[in-house]
Structure 1
Amino acid sequence: MGDLRDEKKFVINFSAGPAKLPETVLRQAQKEMVDYQDTGVSVMEMSHRSADFSKILNTAEQNLRELLEVPDNYKVMFLQGGGTGQFSAVPFNLMKLKPGESNAAVFVFVLRALNLYMINLFPLHAPSNLTPLCSDFPAIPEPSTWNLNPEASYVYYCANETVHGVEFKTIPETNGVPLVCDMSSNILTRPIDVSKFGVIFAGAQKNIGCAGVTVVIVREDLLGHAMDLCPSIFNYQVQASNNSLYNTPPTYSVYIMGLVFNWIKGQGGVASMDRNSSVKSSAIYTVVEESEGFYCCPLDAACRSRTNLPFRIGSVEGNDALEKKFLEEATKAGYLQLKGHRSVGGIRVSLYNAVSVEEANLLAGFMRNFMAENRHLLDSPTQ
């Protein structure tokens, strides 16, 4: 069987999502596309109630539990709707709205998250104490400055914010208030203590699979408290009781995710991914730091993401002409999807697990060469 991609064309995909998948995963999916393990059908055609798919689903869950060391008192679900769906699912399941009770304390790194809470849940009124604790960059405020409500229903934060490239390196202490975390872009890149969380969710398309499925891990004592108006597909108790099969799940996306879990185990597990993340991100940040101002990263070093690395050329405001030139030459050379998020511009390198150390080093070399060939243009009056 030939390579999935044109062997004559050099390409590395640094997309922020949907992101690169391991080549071995794509090869296996290609091999099994029309006939999954002699069943005579594709996984795309397979009944979600069949024994064959049940094995795919249960094996994926077991492998994820092993990789993250998920305690027995947590349910693992594979749902639809992505992070946007979970913005609504979490308050539907956890938020207290009875008289005299608090609502939620919320870390918000992207105002869109807060807006979604307001629009999706509260079309007529917004709770006064649904409070963003942090929305400014380029640093995470010191924990001593956080004003957490001890009566809150939960505290929400995003472990790794992809637009600006901000990552929590430690787990926030909430003193017993359930902690909810979006780990879409850094799940399985570093070890975590799952027992410190009430809910973890992660869209697969960034770091653990293809678009369509969202991992949700929920502590059992938080089940069974959903609002009466919670849609059944967002009800954690309903989904957990039905082993993610209350409705037809995204079967093929679950299958691909399961292949990725197998691949991670074969690579040495989360510990190996953690080491690789440090090496890969260091390769890029070192070029930035040693560039004497040619490349600039506006973020405090303590919160710089290892999976989404934004930088500008010339200054924190950027040099539009040189950044355009960088992106054009990078694409021509085979380094794809390096344009920064449309809301902030600049350049962004996404180094998810499927991106190898070698590939990160190749990009670092391209950055050095571009700098050497274009540094003189920073002082050009036409730039």
Structure 2
Amino acid sequence: MVNRSDVHYFGAGPAPLPTAVLERAAQVLLNYKDKGIGLCEISHRSPDANEILADAKHALSTLLDIPDDYEVLFLQSGGSGEFSATVYNLVAIWVEKKRAAIAGEVGDNQEEVLKRMHKAVDEELKLDYLVSGSWSLKASQEATRLVGAKHVNVALDARKSNGGKFGVIPPEDQWSLTPRASGGGPALVYYCDNETVDGVEFPAFPHALEGDDAPLVCCDMSSNFISRKVDVRKYAVIFGGAQKNIGNTGIAIVILRKSLLPPHSTPASPDLLRALNLPVGPIVLDYPTIAKNNSLYNTLPIFDVWVAGQVMSGLVNAYGAKRIGGQEEVSNDKARLIYDTLDKYSHVYRVVPDKAVRSRMNICFRVHGGDADKEKAFLAGAEKKGLLGLKGHRSVGGIRASNYNAVSMDGAKALVAYLEDYAKSS
């Protein structure tokens, strides 16, 4: 029998979880708070469920120093569901702001308002996407599916600067962002902070998205959530699936600027959206509805929230005043150790992305130039050493070592030892 302590798992998601959290989870699944029933069996509207939600929110807010004018939501859509939710919600806000401005000019003439709204949507509605990898590409494709290609501006397609493949982030002066004119600009700008498949991570918040007239920035942090400091105020929406650094599969977390919620912002009515041939989103992805109901509009998987809360509370307790900065130091140290070894044996290993944008979370590389048989042998040798989950994504192949928070320093060192041994014997 293989014990949990005998292996180190580098899978990209679902990812490893802290053993201590899993041990507590096993207990509460059977008997939560000595109530005689398990956590999966309690009502999502019970005081216990509300306490679990409050604890998870508090832990995340503490780690990332989330300002009071931001809301934390829990949804069941996963990161991919948020590709849709951001479009539904922010386009509806853009439309209503435009309608209010036009109504202020023409008064109660609804026919004229609708006529000018059609023109405004046709000529002005844009959603900007920075496509730096497979997930941001999927996000842009979903936006295109929902609102049509004419409204989606791919301001950056990194493949054009890298021979048709992802692996770089071109300089910002090469991006074609929608101009931010007075009263204008895109309904949103989306980017993926860390590309799980391609091993590309933005080293910092893009300068091009800053300023007094900054657009509504939606950032997908699914695979580097709670791994480094984040200036939350720079973002309108931060979202991510929990199954990388935060918890198990089943929930998405959204950090949302409260100014985008009623009474500060009002989305366009479904009737107006339909009249303009724009999509009306499902109620379970409607941010105002989810916020109004404390993430409990529908039956939320409270066990999944509990796991996420336990993971985040563990980091709060471990790093104290350093908050997420403590985990950032560990994440950086592990990544540096692995990359230094790969670079040391560059005749054997080739790191896929450019050095300036190497992900700290998903370390993608090829063995002997991508020789299929040698990479298969590399993976087989790793498994014999208890190093699991190293196979690259099916769409790109190669090797991928996911360096999530639950991967210990000992795990990183074990991988480095294997990299050394393999390189010396090749």
TM-score normalised by length of structure 2 = 0.83
Name 1:105's counterpart in structure 2: 128
Distance 2:196 2:221 in 1: 11
Name 1:168's counterpart in structure 2: 202
The structure that is helix-richer by fraction is 2
**Maintained 8 Å contact 2:158/2:168:** no
Could you say which structure has the larger radius of gyration?
2
Q: 2:167 aligns with which of 138, 142, 167?
A: 138
Distance 1:127 1:187 in 2: 32
Shift of 1:66: 0.8
Decide whether aligned partners of structure 1 residues 36 and 11 sit closer, same or farther in structure 2, where only a CA change above 3 A counts: same
**Maintained 8 Å contact 2:143/2:152:** no
Q: 2:48 aligns with which of 52, 71, 84?
A: 52
Shift of 1:9: 6.7
**Maintained 8 Å contact 2:188/2:218:** yes
Name whichever of 141-150 and 5-14 sits farther off: 5-14
CA RMSD of aligned residues (A): 1.6
Distance 1:332 1:156 in 2: 41
**Maintained 8 Å contact 2:391/2:397:** yes
Shift of 1:17: 0.1
Name 1:350's counterpart in structure 2: 402
Are 1:287 and 2:341 an aligned pair? yes
Shift of 1:6: 4.4
Aligned-partner residue type, residue 181 of structure 1: C
Shift of 1:350: 0.2
**Maintained 8 Å contact 2:125/2:151:** no
Distance 1:197 1:84 in 2: 19
Distance 1:134 1:17 in 2: 25
Shift of 1:230: 1.8
Q: For 1:36-47, what aligned pairs fall within 5 Å after superposition?
A: 36-47=32-43
Name 2:390's counterpart in structure 1: 338
Q: Deviations over 1:202-261 (max 9, x none)?
A: 100011000001000110122232662121111101101111011111211111101101
Are 1:30 and 2:84 an aligned pair? no
SS at match of 2:363: strand
Q: Deviations over 1:115-156 (max 9, x none)?
A: 22223x14xx43344324223232111112222112111110
Name 1:117's counterpart in structure 2: 143
TM-score normalised by length of structure 1 = 0.92
Distance 1:360 1:126 in 2: 43
Name whichever of 88-97 and 235-244 sits farther off: 88-97
Shift of 1:319: 1.2
Q: Deviations over 1:320-369 (max 9, x none)?
A: 11100001111122111100011110000001001111110111101111
Report percent identity of matched pairs: 41
Aligned-partner residue type, residue 16 of structure 2: K
Decide whether aligned partners of structure 1 residues 271 and 296 sit closer, same or farther in structure 2, where only a CA change above 3 A counts: same
Q: 2:89 aligns with which of 87, 93, 98?
A: 93
Name whichever of 293-302 and 90-99 sits farther off: 90-99
Name 1:225's counterpart in structure 2: 267
SS at match of 1:77: strand
Are 1:244 and 2:270 an aligned pair? no
**Maintained 8 Å contact 1:165/1:309:** yes
Distance 2:415 2:30 in 1: 36
Q: Deviations over 1:92-132 (max 9, x none)?
A: 0002454323221111232322222223x14xx43344324
Shift of 1:8: 8.4
Shift of 1:185: 0.5
Shift of 1:267: 2.0
SS at match of 2:85: helix
Name 2:76's counterpart in structure 1: 80
Name 2:105's counterpart in structure 1: none
Decide whether aligned partners of structure 1 residues 8 and 18 sit closer, same or farther in structure 2, where only a CA change above 3 A counts: closer
Shift of 1:266: 2.1
Are 1:197 and 2:235 an aligned pair? yes
Q: For 1:267-286, what aligned pairs fall within 5 Å after superposition?
A: 267-268=318-319, 269-286=323-340
Distance 2:238 2:344 in 1: 37
